[in-house]
Structure 1
């Protein structure tokens, strides 16, 4: 669900106990979205979250000269546009990097540094709970994760590209967006575990698609009108697989990821309703679970190149 960062000043007091990244005595940690709002002194352009998978936020902010206090989540970020100098100080240690497309910056949960950024930054951030990272490592049969490495403008086009796709794909449809975030978080977490923990992390990939029964059941759920049926956890449980391995097996069976298949199914539904009924665009948007007619029209045009109204006129 897309939501603004809470503006209530009491929200900043909602903190959790924890240890410093360097093993120092216990300190209070803020939630990542709360700390980012405090430091960046603005609200995100877009933010989507759920309790178990963390959150994805898109920010545009000005110069920053402040200390980022310890947070409850790992923060992984990339930069869709622009070039900007980054300076990060932790004690006597100084890291200098450049914010640009294709690089990532990582602030591990519990760490604290002073940041000096002289000008405008366009940034997409993933807030990843340690519990989610450990769960995904277990599902992918990878070693239990240690501390993430601090990164400042570190080249990683794979993680950068995945994060940038997050801002492009959020469509204002709760079921679609939730499925996408679950799928994206799993892929991002396996990459982060492999590249940004300072330890060798590999996993064995189980080959083969879904059984005919499991595939049929998954498709039945994806075609259901009940949004809870399309949870990645529910789909994977039906197939007797982890979320990670279900996504791989589903794509091998269908040629599409669960999110891409579900999005195509919703597009097919929209086309049938536009062509075969006189329902208004707003009614179709609501029927398909979009937050607004505008969100539905933007998603439809992204996939077809036409607005729903133009497509309907052409097909009749």
Structure 2
């Protein structure tokens, strides 16, 4: 790994103390969302977080000229819009480039650098705790977890596409969104282990699906209309396997990821209610756990090409 060396040059280049910020104890480093809010001088357009996985945020911010202080979590970011010129200074290192779509920037926990971004910018960020990276590595059968490599506008269309999908696939339904976010974070962590550590991890393949009995229990939990916990952790725990192995074995058995299966099931429920009852669209949205009629209508149209009201009119 090419580790940043933060020596006395930081005092001149960044206008900071010559003390090595990365030596701050973990509990004294700011959370990534708090530090990004300070640096970007705005609040994220959207943010979803979970203690077991981390957080995903989408920002639109003005030009900035500031030092990003060492953070407790790793930050992985990608840029979905037009290229924007930037400079990044880290000790003796200096990078000048463009924030192009299809690239990723990785700021490992504990590192610091100065950023100069010269135009307004849209950016998606994943805040990834080291504990999540360690868990995924363990579940994937990786014996050694290398340090994340610091990257700046590094070409990686796979990681970039995965992170961009976070903005496209959140439906406004708490259960669906949490399940998707858990899957996405684990998948991104797997990708980072394989492509962005000093020692590329070897991910052990998952062989075979779930047994009929275990699969039946998982589907029963996903079908539940109660407040049953359908988080990835709960599904995997009931199946007696890790989150990593559950996702892959469930897809092997059904052809769909747990999130895609639940989304399809909720769509079928919505269609039945719209076709067979006089329940209002607002009532259907609430019954299926959507935060609003607008969120439900957008998710329904994304999957069917029609609004719930138009689909109901056509079916009757």
Give TM-score scaled by structure 1 length: 0.91
- 1:163 and 2:163 equivalent? yes
Root-mean-square deviation (CA), in Å? 1.4
CA distance in 2, matches of 1:251, 1:64: 43
Query: Structure 2 CA distance, aligned partners of 1:276 and 1:150?
Result: 55
- The aligned counterpart of 1:70 is 70
Q: Structure 1: give runs of 5+ residues left out of the alignment.
A: 1-18
CA distance in structure 2 between the aligned counterparts of 1:225 and 1:131, rounded to whole angstroms: 32
Give per-residue Cα distances to partners, 1:157-184, cap 9 Å, x unaligned: 1110000000001111000000001100
Q: Aligned residue for 1:172?
A: 172
Q: Distance in 2 between matches of 1:52 and 1:244?
A: 13
Between stretches 26-35 and 230-239, larger displacement belongs to: 26-35
Deviations 1:85-142 (A, max 9, x none): 2211112211233212110001111111000111121110000111111111111111
Instruction: Measure, in 1, the Cα distance between the counterparts of 2:25 and 2:232.
Output: 35
1:204 is matched with: 204
Matched residues in 2 for 1:85 and 1:277: separation?
Answer: 55
Unaligned runs of 5+ in 2: 1-19
Quote the Cα distance in structure 2 between the aligned partners of 1:283 and 1:159.
38
Counterpart for residue 105 of structure 2: 105
Matches within 5 A, 1:169-248: 169-248=169-248
Q: Which moved more, 1:231-240 or 1:130-139?
A: 231-240
**Paired position in structure 1 for 2:145:** 145
**Aligned residue pairs: how many?**
296
Q: Does 1:121 align with 2:88?
A: no
State how far apart, in whole Å, the 2-side matches of 1:120 and 1:281 are.
38
Deviation at 1:226, TM superposition (A): 3.5
Instruction: Point out the more displaced range, 151-160 or 203-212.
Output: 203-212
1:61-105 Cα shifts (integer Å, max 9, x gaps): 111110001111110000111101221111221123321211000
Contact 2:103 2:155 in 1 (8 A): yes
TM-score when normalising by structure 2: 0.91
